[in-house]
Amino acid sequence: MHFDTFSDFLAMGGYATYVWGAFGATFLSLFWILFSSLGKRRQLLKEIGQKMAREERIRKAKTMENTL
């Protein structure tokens, strides 16, 4: 499709509401997925760190029991 002016481009042949709404919904969804994934990644790394620290404490406690 060829547009003569920038305002014609923005109007999208009378379908601007649908076209720009679709673009907006798409980008909003992509940003939601991005930030949600980053938050879940941060949470997962925190949980892994806590589990590793717990396992280390358990291992040290077992070695202390053997020395008594």
Q: Is the pTM of this model over 0.85?
A: no
Per-residue pLDDT tens for 21-41? 999 999 999 999 999 999 999
Inside any domain, residue 36: yes
Q: How many domains are there within the chain? A: 1
User: How remote is the C-alpha of 41 from its chain's centroid?
Assistant: 8
Residue 37 lies inside a defined structural domain of this protein? yes
State the Cα–Cα distance between residues 13 and 49, nearest whole angstrom.
Answer: 55
Which structural domain range is residue 27 located in?
Answer: 6-67
Q: Is residue 19 part of a domain?
A: yes
Between these two residues, 62 and 55, which has the higher pLDDT value?
55
Computed on alpha carbons and rounded to an integer, the radius of gyration of the chain in Å comes to 27
Whole-number pLDDT of residue 64: 85
